Amino acid sequence: MARARNRIAGIISAFGELLITAGLVMGLFVVYSLWWTNVLADRAADQDGAQVRDRWADGPGALDTKDGIGFLHVPAMGDDEILVKQGTTSTILNNGVAGYYTDPIKSALPQDKKGNFTLAAHRDGHGAKFHNIHKLKTGDAIVFESKDTWYVYKVYKSLPETTKYNVDVLQPVPKESGKTKPGRYITLTTCTPMYTSDYRYIVWGELERTEKVDRDRTPPAELL
């Protein structure tokens, strides 16, 4: 009887140790996913962003669609500038940047006379550049900085949850936002709820004005 009890106690103890080990592994995975990937992504984004600004210092040149076309500034989401690159694959977004869509619906670019500048970024981990997208309200500024122009958009509509398969939010005229005519729009997309990728959170903005970049790169009033 005593031997049986000891055997059961040993099994329970071993099982408990396994649970503790599994808990530690899961904890380490969470730390890696939500903290360390941010560290690595921010480091990569800072390096890439510095390279873009170094190239801008060389004077006029062709649009660089590989290493970054400019920087997104969204005061309501935080003080960080967000490097914008071409594409929305995980290979690109995992480096702590925002990417503009090349498919399923090709994004317009800010300098285009009409269209929808559509962007995606991670909400959690890998830089989490759109983590605070829910803080954006109607009238808030979304500013895109290119080599020679500031593009100032104002938020006019949000969609807190939609299916990940809803590509209509990326249309040149985003009718789900209430627009019916061509214009110059911007769309931010990311995963929701936080820490999941089940649905998508959408924010739409419309271009209010542009400002030429001066020698000192003085930001528009919305960023001061």
Active site residues: 191
Please name every residue paired with 210 in a beta bridge, in sequence order, or none if there are none: 151
Helix (H), strand (E) counts: the chain: 3, 8
Please name every residue paired with 115 in a beta bridge, in sequence order, or none if there are none: 184
* Sole residue written with tokens 């649905």: 199
The 10 Å Cβ neighbour count of residue 119 is 27
| 92, amino acid identity | I
Q: Which SS3 state, helix, strand or coil, does residue 202 take?
A: strand
Give the C-alpha separation, 92 to 82, whole Å. 13
Give the C-alpha separation, 194 to 75, whole Å. 20
Do the beta carbons of residue 88 and residue 101 sit within 8 Å?
Answer: yes
Query: What tokens were used for 4?
Result: 């049986």
Please name every residue paired with 119 in a beta bridge, in sequence order, or none if there are none: 100, 188
